Amino acid sequence: MFTDLVNYIVWNPDPIIGSLGPITLRYYSLCWIIGLALGYVLMQKLYRQQKLSDEQFEPLFIYIFLAILLGARLGHCLFYEPDYFLSSGTHLLEMLLPARYGADGSWHITGYEGLASHGGVFGLFVGLWLYCRNFKVPGWVVLDNMGICSSITAFFIRLGNLMNSEIIGKVTDVPWAFIFARVDGYPRHPGQLYEAICYLLFFFIILIIYKKKGTQSIGSGLYFGLCLTLIFIARFIIEYTKEIQVAFESSLPMDMGQILSIPLIIIGVYSIATSGKRMKLKEVIRK
């Protein structure tokens, strides 16, 4: 089946860019930074188009960054490795610190190795709720703007997974298969790349719809709904090409990524289905 391994894409980049003293700079971290920075710039532009003040915008990034980071980290630890992280006080501390406790009895700065996108989304909801409550910005307005921006950030995060050779796909003989040399010598589906391409496509689709409908459509829930629905339907389907990440998933009817995608798809479909009512209410209020 795999006699022509030379025809596949051998993937073996060094995940580390370089070091500054005890701090190690990784491609994964860089992709997160680029994705969040682009989301920040685009979100700021949307706020200004919609006549929302800089004073309302400026705290948003801090709320989003901390909420996504904390949610993604806790999501990974609790959804995928609860047996490890809940087994001792030291491991519990590792959930929150960008470091690992080594066998030599000392701490090693590693960055956050393990971030779950579903956890990041749930963390985002909490962060946005706190932001809207404290700065009196309508929740659906913020959610719609996030719906326009989020896919570009998700695109870069999946590129980071690709650079880490993590979340690998199942063994396959498709001609575009990747051999993840740091994992094994088998050609596999590049599931991270599948997701990245989908997310980039969704970003442009949602942005085009926004440009066509204009700023008056913000606050309807349409863009938030489109973002959740498109991303997590794609995620649900692509999961069929991936290897399970942790052993206990093999006993489940579907893997953890698919299970966690279902409620987000439902929320997304609901937001789209009810967006027309919110638009009509906005028009009545304007009159």
Does 73 count as an annotated binding residue? no
Strand pairing report for 9-11 and 178-180? parallel
CA dihedral of 190, 182, 20, 66, whole degrees rounded to 10: 40
Q: What is the DSSP string of 28-51?
A: HHHHHHHHHHHHHHHHHHHHHHTT
Of 83, 109, 112, nearest in space to 95 by CA:
112
Give ∠ CA 205-210-216 in degrees, rounded to 5: 165
Q: What is the DSSP string of 80-148?
A: T-HHHHTSSHHHHHHTTSSEEE-TTSSEEE-------HHHHHHHHHHHHHHHHHHHT--HHHHHHHHHH
Label each residue of 111-127 as H, E or C. Answer: CCCCCCHHHHHHHHHHH
C-alpha–C-alpha distance, residues 268 and 287, integer Å: 29
Annotated binding site: 158
